[in-house]
Each structure stands twice: as C-alpha cells, then as structure tokens.
C-alpha cells in the first residue's frame, strides 16, 4: 500500500469519526480495487457497510429514538465484529467515536423533561456516550446527576463504577460495581462496560460456561470469590431486615421446579454473601453466619469450598 493509499485511509478514518461512514465506504471501495487482500481496508469497508445505510434510515427518527437505535445497534455490532476474521482495532476507535458522537448529539438535543427516573436515564445515556468518547470526568458529572435522581438504578451505578475504574479509582469502582450487581444484576449492561477491572472478571465467568441471564447473576458471586468485589459497605438495619425477607422468598421460589434454579441459585448465594458480611460487621454471632454458609453449601458445594477455604 502506497503513500497515496495511506492518505486516503486517513480521510476514511476522519469521515468515520465524523459519523459519515457512507462517504468513507465510497473511498474504501476504490481502495479495495488495488488492495483487495488488505485486512485493514476490508474490515473498515465491512464496518462502514454495517453502519452506512442504518444511519441514513434512522435520520427520519426523532432524536431520542436515534440515540436509542445507535446504542442498541452498537451492542449488536460489538458481537458481530468479533466474528470477523480480519478484525482490526485500528478501525474500531474512529468508528466508536463516530457512533457515540452521533448518539450524544441526538440526546443533547432533548430537553430534561419527564419523571426523575426518565431524566436519570437520559443523563445515564449521555454519560455512557461521553465515557465511550474518553471524556470520563464529564461522564461522571452526568452519571452523578443520574444517581441523584435515581440512586437505586443498577445501570447508573455500573456506569459510574466503570468510569471510576477507567480513571484508576478502583476503590470507588469496586464498591459501586458490587452495589449495582446486588440491586439488580440483570439490568447491568455488561456489553457497554470497558474497564479491565470488570471486563477481566466477566471473561473469567464466561470461561466457566455461563452466558445470558445466568452470567449476569454469577458475576457478583465470582467477584467476591476472586477478590474483585472486596470493598464493602455495611447494610443499614432496615436493609438487612429486607434482605432476610428476600432470601426467605427466594428459598421458597427455588423449591418450585417450574422456577429457573440456574438464575435463582447465584442470586441467592450473592444475597447470602451480603448477609454474612452484615453479621460479621454487626457481631451478631457466628451461629447466624454458619446458617448462611450451610445454605450456600446446600445450593453449591464448590462455591462453599471456594468461599470458606
């Protein structure tokens, strides 16, 4: 590939960053005529083809729908590009910048209306876009506002944790990740998490054969076992009482064979981990801790051995 082709590729990447992959694809089609075996050009052409018509199609949507469509499409794109043989990270950075810049512009054109939860979700989406653009401080400002509006939102807490981890503030990240997966593991959007702190844990749990909803529930369990979720906060008295009630309800649910034990077992184990920490901090006696350990052992002998070794 000559100097002229390198210059054309620079134009391509600039166009991709600007969110116009259709124009970039035209240049790439010409480059492929003389560089048909070049993996970088082939992958760039595939990426632009993936997005070009889609971006044209959603231009007729209202701004909020545009933002939602772009983010949903990115999730599919991430799963699909990893299957490409000529995968090139050099192409992905400008593509990510272009797509999330478009999404951010769409969200920015909206007014902060609706309920507190709806405003929190808009702040979260804008924070996600800024995080993907590498603007972590600005992202945290928006995510903090989202937290103020909806403090029990697992997606908000997870995004805050991810930003803290990307900034090297692992202590804050660990406590917030642990909290997010405790509140509602199913609602944590793991496909948008970027920090190595959580991505390494997710890979390790995937390697054990878990996927889908079960994967989401096992992440906090192994987060404790592998020492990732080792920064903890104490439960308030009301929270501990509510947790015991939830555990009782889940134990009854798991007795019903029509319920999915693959989801309930890791959820229960994580609840027991929290309750054990509460008993340990409140000095309520070893007997209650032993009761929790016995229940963990009943549900999963291997997890019990890993936890107590």
- Note whether 173 and 230 are within 8 A (CB): no
What pLDDT score does 62 carry?
A: 93
Q: Give this prediction's pTM.
A: 0.93
What pLDDT score does 105 carry?
A: 97
What pLDDT score does 112 carry?
A: 67
How does pLDDT run along the chain (309 residues), one tens digit per residue?
A: 555 567 889 999 999 999 999 999 999 999 998 888 888 999 999 999 999 999 999 999 999 999 999 999 999 999 899 888 778 889 999 999 999 999 999 999 987 666 788 899 999 999 999 999 999 999 999 999 999 999 899 999 999 999 999 999 999 999 999 999 999 999 999 999 999 999 999 999 999 999 999 999 999 999 999 999 999 999 999 999 999 999 999 999 999 989 999 999 999 999 999 999 999 988 777 899 999 999 999 999 999 999 998
Token code pair at residue 35: 């560089």
What pLDDT score does 294 carry?
A: 97
What pLDDT score does 232 carry?
A: 92
Nearest to 236 by CA among 274, 188, 186: 274
- Note whether 45 and 92 are within 8 A (CB): no
CA distances from 33 to 6, 7, 13, 153, 245 (A): 15, 16, 19, 50, 67
What pLDDT score does 255 carry?
A: 92
Report the alpha-carbon angle 245-247-250, nearest 5.
110
């Amino acid at each position: 590939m000559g100097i002229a082709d390198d210059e054309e590729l620079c134009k391509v990447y600039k166009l991709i960053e600007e969110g116009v992959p259709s124009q970039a694809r035209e240049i790439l089609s010409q480059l492929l005529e003389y560089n048909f075996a070049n993996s970088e050009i082939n992958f760039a052409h595939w990426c632009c083809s993936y997005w070009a018509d889609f971006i044209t199609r959603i231009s007729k949507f209202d701004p909020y729908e545009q933002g939602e469509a772009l983010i949903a499409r990115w999730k599919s794109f991430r799963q699909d590009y990893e299957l490409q043989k000529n995968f090139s990270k050099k192409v992905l950075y400008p593509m990510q910048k272009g797509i999330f810049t478009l999404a951010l512009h769409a969200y920015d054109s909206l007014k902060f209306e609706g309920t507190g939860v709806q405003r929190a979700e808009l702040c979260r989406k804008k924070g996600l876009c800024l995080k993907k653009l590498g603007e972590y401080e600005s992202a945290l400002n928006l995510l903090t506002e989202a937290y103020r509006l909806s403090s029990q939102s697992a997606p908000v807490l997870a995004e805050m944790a991810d930003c803290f981890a990307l900034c090297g503030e692992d202590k804050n990240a660990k406590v917030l990740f642990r909290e997010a997966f405790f509140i509602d593991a199913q609602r944590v959007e793991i496909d948008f998490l970027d920090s190595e702190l959580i991505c390494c844990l997710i890979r390790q749990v995937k390697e054990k054969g878990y996927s889908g909803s079960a994967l989401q529930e096992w992440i906090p369990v192994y987060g404790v076992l592998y020492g990732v979720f080792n920064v903890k906060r104490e439960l308030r008295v009301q929270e501990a009482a509510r947790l015991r009630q939830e555990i009782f309800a889940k134990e009854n649910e798991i007795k019903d064979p029509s319920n999915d034990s693959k989801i309930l077992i890791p959820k229960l184990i994580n609840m027991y981990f929290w309750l054990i920490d509460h008993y340990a901090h409140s000095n309520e006696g070893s007997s209650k801790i032993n009761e929790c350990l016995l229940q963990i052992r009943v549900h999963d002998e291997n997890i019990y051995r890993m936890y107590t070794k």
